[in-house]
C-alpha cells in the first residue's frame, strides 16, 4: 500500500488552481497565448540574459600607522623609510599643531604597526570594516593593549611599494581579543569597524553585445521599474546604476531584481510569467529565484502569491509572504509574524529580517519587542539588532570611554549580555537593569582590576592596582547595576585638578573579559555571549 504525501498533494492542488486561473484569464485570446508557456526560457529576455552587472568586490588593503596610548609596552624602533613616511603623514593630519613627531615615534608609549583589512563588497550592509593591527616584527613592542591607532592610510595590498592611491583610512581603539582559544598575542589587535573606504561604490551594467538602441531600452526599463534616474546609459555597452533608496542595505537583492527584470511587458505575457514562477516557487527546492522573479514582475504577482499563503509548507508561505511584503502588500504580514513567533521554525530570523526591512516601522518594532522575551538567545539578539536599526526609543544607547557603545533595553524575562567582537564595538544588555550579586569577587587576568561586593554592602567596590608594585592606585564605588559598573570602569580618567569624577579607562577588550567572568561565576544573573571575531587574521594564535 502506497503512502500518500499530503504536502505534495497540497502543492499540486495549488499548481492546478493557478493553472486553472490562468486558463480562465486566457479565454478569448489568441491560440498562441492560450496555454501556459513551457518555462522561463519561453517568457522573453530578462536584463540578466542580455548583460552582466559589475560591482566592486571585496579587496585586501594594507598600510602603516602609529599606535599611541601604550603604557611603556611600545618601541622606538622604526625603519628609516617608514619613519619618513609617518612623519609626513602625521604632519599632514595636524598641520596647525606643533608636534615633535620624532619624539612621538621615539617613545615606548607608541608603536609602529602594520594594518591590514578587507574592504567589503558592494553587497555588504557594513558601513565600517575591521582591520588587523600588528606590531612590526623585530621591534621591542610587547603589547598593543589599551592603545589607539592614530590613523593609517590604506592601499590595495601589494601596492605600497608601487605608490598606488589611497582607497581607505583606519583609526580607533585597539581591541585585543582575550576570550577563549582565539585569544591573540598582545602584539596583535583589531580596530573594530574603524576603517572606511574613500572610494564611491558604483555599479555598471555591461551589455553582452554593445548597441545604442538596446542600451536605451534597458535603461528605460530599469527606470520604469525602479524609478527615474536609477539607470544612465553612458556608452553603447555600459549603463551606470544608482542604488534606489528603497534598497539601501539590500544591494545584492537590488542587483538580483535588475537581472530578473523582463525587458518587455504586456498584460498577456506578464500573466503567463507570473503563473510559471508561481508554479516554480511551489514545487522547486530552491525558492529564492522564483521569489526574486515575481518581485521583479511587480504588483501583477500579488493575486497568485496570495494563494500560496495558505500552503501547509512553511517555506512556500515564507517566500510568498516576503515577496508580497517587499511589493508593499500588508496582506502577508500575519504569515510572517506567525513564522517569527513559531518556536520550532527554522525561518524565524529570516522572518524577523523581512519584517524589519519591509513592514511598517510600528509593526516591525511591535514584533521585535515581543521577541526580546523569547527563550532563544539568537532570537533575542536578532530582535535587538533590528530594534537598534529601526531606532526604537526603548533602546537606550550611550558611548563609553570614546571606544564602544553600551546598549540597554528592557522588556525581557531572559536577561542576556551580548558583546560584539567584529563591526561596531558594543555591549548589549537585554532585560536591563541587570544587577550584580551582593557577594562577588572578580579580578582581571593581569590583576589590575578587582570588583568586590559583600552582603548588605549595597554597592560594588572597584579597585585599580599596579600588579608590579602590588599597590592600589584607585578605589571607587558604584551601584549594583552592571551598566554603572561598566561606566565606572571604562569612562576616561578625570583630568588633573578636575572636580568631576572620572573612570579608570579600562579597555573594551578587558571589559568584556570581566563581564564574561561575572556571568560565568553567576555574579550577574544573565547569559553572556560574545559574537564571532573578525575574519581577518583569525588564524593568528598566541
- Tens digit of each residue's pLDDT (9 = 90 or more) over 252-267: 999 999 999 999 989 9
Helix (H, G, I), strand (E, B) or coil at 403: coil
Q: Which of 52, 120, 58 is nearest to 258 (CA)?
A: 52
Q: Same domain, yes or no, for 526 and 417?
A: yes
Report if residue 384 sits inside a domain. no
**How confident is the model at residue 22, as a pLDDT?**
43
Helix (H) or strand (E) holding 148, with range, is strand 148-156
Question: According to the per-residue pLDDT averaged within each range, which of 99-103, 177-181, 300-304, 503-507 is highest?
Answer: 300-304
pLDDT at 37 over 90: no
Reading the block at residue 232, the C-alpha cell is: 544612465
Of the two residues 275 and 157, the one the predictor is more confident about is: 275
Model confidence band, residue 497 (pLDDT cutoffs 50, 70, 90) = low
pLDDT band at 452; cut points 50, 70, 90: very high
Which bin fits 65, alpha (ψ -120 to 50), beta or left (φ > 0)?
beta
Residue 508 to residues 174, 187, 471, 479: CA-CA distances in angstroms?
9, 16, 24, 20
Q: Is residue 161 part of a domain?
A: yes
Judgement on whether residues 184 and 274 belong to the same structural domain of the protein:
no
Reduced to 3 states (helix: H, G, I; strand: E, B; else coil), residue 185 is: coil
Same domain membership, residue 361 and residue 333: yes
Are both 65 and 190 inside the same structural domain? yes
Residue pointed to by grid coordinates 611600545: 74
Answer whether residue 282 shows pLDDT above 80.
yes
What band does 119 get if pLDDT is binned at 50, 70 and 90?
Answer: confident
Total number of domains constituting the chain: 4
Strand 426-430, strand 404-409: pairing: parallel
Q: How far apart are CA 281 and CA 317, in angstroms?
A: 10
- My answer on whether 252 and 271 are in the same domain is no
Q: Please provide the average confidence, as pLDDT, over all residues in the chain.
A: 87
Strand partners, 129: 195
The radius of gyration of the chain from alpha carbons, rounded to an integer in Å, stands at 29
Stretch (H or E) spanning 63 = strand 59-68
**Is the bond leading into 433 cis (omega within 30 degrees of zero)?**
yes
The pLDDT score that the predictor gives to residue 270 is: 95
Which of 315, 343, 376 marks a domain boundary?
A: 376
Pairwise CA distance, residues 514 & 448, whole Å: 12
Kind of pairing between the strands at 404-409 and 396-400: antiparallel
Percent with pLDDT over 90 in the chain = 67
Residue 101: count of CB within 10 angstroms of its CB: 16
Residue 72 CA to its chain's centroid (Å): 35
pLDDT tier, 300 (very low <50, low <70, confident <90, very high otherwise): very high
Nearest to 53 by CA among 293, 210, 228, 259: 259
Query: 63 and 51: one domain?
Result: no
CA distances from 331 to 290, 295, 305, 310, 519 (A): 19, 15, 10, 12, 43
Rounded CA-CA distance 494/496 in Å is 6
Q: Are residues 136 and 169 in the same domain?
A: yes
Q: Which residues have CB under 8 Å from 502's CB, separation 6+?
A: 491, 492, 493, 494, 495
Is there a single domain that holds both residue 296 and residue 353?
Answer: yes
Higher pLDDT: 7 or 411? It is 411
If asked whether residues 521 and 432 sit together in one domain, one would say yes
Same domain, 220 and 346: no
Cα 537 to Cα 151, 155, 184, 321, 533, distances in angstroms: 20, 18, 10, 40, 9
Same-domain status, 338 and 419: no
Looking at the structure, tell me whether residues 408 and 506 fall in a common domain.
Answer: yes
* Residues linked to residue 463 through DSSP beta bridges, in sequence order: 450, 475
pLDDT higher than 70, residue 140: yes
Rounded to whole angstroms, the Cα distance separating 250 from 324 reads: 17
Instruction: Give CA–CA dist 434/527, Å, rounded.
Output: 11
Look up the domain containing 66 and give its range.
59-197
Half-sphere exposure of 159 (CA within 13 A, CB side): 15
Instruction: Give the C-alpha separation, 502 to 203, whole Å.
Output: 48
pLDDT (mean) for 402-425: 92
Condensed to tens digits (0 to 9), the pLDDT of residues 369-404 reads 999 999 999 999 999 999 999 999 999 999 999 899
Backbone angles phi, psi at 243, to 5 degrees: -85, 120
| Closest of 466, 513, 467, 465 to residue 486, by C-alpha | 513
Q: How far apart are CA 281 and CA 297, in angstroms?
A: 14
Specify which of 80-89, 341-350, 469-478 reaches the highest per-range mean pLDDT. 341-350
What is the DSSP annotation of 486-500?
HHHHHSPPPPTT-SS
CA distance 509 to 115: 19
If pLDDT is split at 50, 70 and 90, which confidence band does 190 have?
very high
Among the candidates 197, 215, 249, a domain finishes at 197
187 in any annotated domain: yes
Q: Is the pTM of this model over 0.95?
A: no
pLDDT band with cut points at 50, 70 and 90 for residue 161: low
Q: For residue 517, report the phi and psi dihedrals to the nearest 5 degrees.
A: -60, -45
The verdict on residue 42 lying in a domain is no
Which cell numbers hold the place of 440? 562577588
**Is pLDDT at 537 greater than 60 in this prediction?**
no
Out of 342, 376, 410, pick the residue that ends a domain: 376
Closest to 172 measured CA to CA, from 135, 198, 147: 147
Does 326 reside within a domain? yes
Weakest mean pLDDT among 307-316, 384-393, 441-450: 441-450
* 537 falls within a domain: no
- The CB density around residue 113, as the number of other CB atoms within 10 Å, is 27
* Arithmetic mean of pLDDT, 237-254: 91
In sign, the C-alpha dihedral spanning 73, 79, 80, 84 is negative
- In DSSP terms, 529 is beta-bridged to 418
When mean pLDDT is compared across 31-40, 254-263, 478-487, 529-538, the lowest value belongs to: 31-40
In a domain, 388, yes or no: no
Nearest to 155, CA basis, from 146, 147, 164: 164
- Evaluate if residue 331 carries a pLDDT over 80: yes
Neighbours of 438 (CB within 10 A): 15
In a domain, 128, yes or no: yes
Name the CA dihedral angle for 94, 99, 105, 111, rounded to a multiple of 10 degrees: -50
Amino acid at each position: 500500500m502506497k503512502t500518500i504525501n499530503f504536502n505534495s498533494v497540497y502543492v499540486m492542488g495549488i499548481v492546478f488552481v493557478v493553472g486553472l486561473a490562468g486558463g480562465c484569464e486566457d479565454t478569448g485570446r489568441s491560440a498562441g497565448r492560450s496555454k501556459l508557456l513551457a518555462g522561463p526560457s519561453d517568457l522573453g529576455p530578462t536584463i540578466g540574459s542580455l548583460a552582466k552587472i559589475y560591482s566592486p568586490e571585496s579587496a585586501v588593503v594594507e598600510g602603516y600607522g602609529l599606535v599611541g596610548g601604550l603604557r611603556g609596552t611600545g618601541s622606538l624602533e622604526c625603519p628609516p623609510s617608514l619613519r619618513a613616511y609617518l612623519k609626513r603623514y602625521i604632519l599632514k593630519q595636524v598641520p596647525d599643531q606643533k608636534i615633535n613627531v620624532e619624539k612621538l615615534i621615539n617613545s615606548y608609549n607608541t608603536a609602529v604597526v602594520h594594518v591590514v583589512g578587507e574592504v567589503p563588497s558592494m553587497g555588504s550592509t557594513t558601513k565600517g570594516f575591521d582591520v588587523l593591527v600588528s606590531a612590526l616584527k623585530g621591534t621591542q613592542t610587547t603589547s598593543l593593549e589599551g592603545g589607539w591607532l592614530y590613523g593609517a592610510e590604506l592601499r590595495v595590498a601589494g601596492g605600497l611599494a608601487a605608490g598606488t592611491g589611497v582607497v581607505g583610512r583606519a583609526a580607533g581603539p585597539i581591541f585585543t581579543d582575550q576570550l577563549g582559544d582565539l585569544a591573540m598575542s598582545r602584539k596583535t589587535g583589531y580596530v573594530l569597524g574603524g576603517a572606511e573606504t574613500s572610494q564611491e561604490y558604483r555599479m555598471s551594467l555591461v551589455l553582452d553585445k554593445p548597441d545604442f538602441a538596446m542600451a536605451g531600452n534597458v535603461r528605460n526599463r530599469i527606470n520604469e521599474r525602479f524609478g527615474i534616474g536609477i539607470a544612465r546609459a553612458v556608452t553603447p555597452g555600459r549603463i551606470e546604476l544608482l542604488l534606489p533608496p528603497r534598497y539601501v542595505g539590500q544591494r545584492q537583492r537590488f542587483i538580483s531584481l535588475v537581472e530578473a527584470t523582463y525587458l518587455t511587458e504586456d498584460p498577456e505575457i506578464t500573466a503567463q510569467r507570473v503563473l510559471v514562477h508561481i508554479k516554480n516557487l511551489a514545487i522547486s527546492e530552491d525558492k529564492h529565484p522564483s521569489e526574486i522573479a515575481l518581485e521583479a514582475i511587480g504588483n501583477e504577482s500579488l493575486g497568485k502569491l496570495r494563494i500560496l499563503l495558505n500552503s501547509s509548507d512553511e517555506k512556500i508561505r515564507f517566500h510568498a509572504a516576503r515577496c508580497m511584503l517587499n511589493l508593499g502588500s500588508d496582506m502577508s504580514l500575519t504569515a510572517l509574524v506567525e513564522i517569527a513567533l513559531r518556536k520550532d521554525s527554522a525561518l524565524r530570523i529570516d522572518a524577523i529580517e523581512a519584517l524589519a526591512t519591509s513592514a511598517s516601522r510600528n509593526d516591525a518594532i511591535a514584533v521585535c519587542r515581543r521577541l526580546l522575551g523569547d527563550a532563544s538567545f539568537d532570537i533575542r539578539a536578532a530582535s535587538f539588532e533590528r530594534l537598534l536599526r529601526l531606532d526604537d526609543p526603548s533602546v537606550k544607547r550611550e558611548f563609553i570611554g570614546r571606544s564602544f557603545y553600551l546598549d540597554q533595553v528592557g522588556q525581557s524575562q531572559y536577561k542576556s549580555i551580548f558583546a560584539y567582537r567584529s563591526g561596531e564595538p558594543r555591549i548589549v544588555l537585554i532585560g536591563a537593569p541587570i544587577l550584580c550579586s551582593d557577594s562577588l569577587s572578580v579580578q582581571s587576568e593581569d590583576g589590575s582590576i578587582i570588583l568586590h561586593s559583600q552582603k548588605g554592602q549595597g554597592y560594588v567596590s572597584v579597585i585599580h592596582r599596579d600588579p608590579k608594585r602590588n599597590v592600589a592606585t584607585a578605589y571607587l564605588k558604584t551601584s549594583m547595576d552592571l551598566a554603572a559598573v561598566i561606566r565606572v570602569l571604562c569612562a576616561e580618567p578625570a583630568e588633573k585638578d578636575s572636580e568631576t569624577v572620572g573612570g579608570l579607562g579600562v579597555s573594551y577588550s578587558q571589559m568584556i573579559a570581566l563581564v564574561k567572568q561575572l556571568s560565568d561565576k553567576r555574579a550577574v544573573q544573565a547569559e553572556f555571549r560574545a559574537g564571532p571575531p573578525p575574519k581577518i587574521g583569525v588564524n593568528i594564535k598566541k
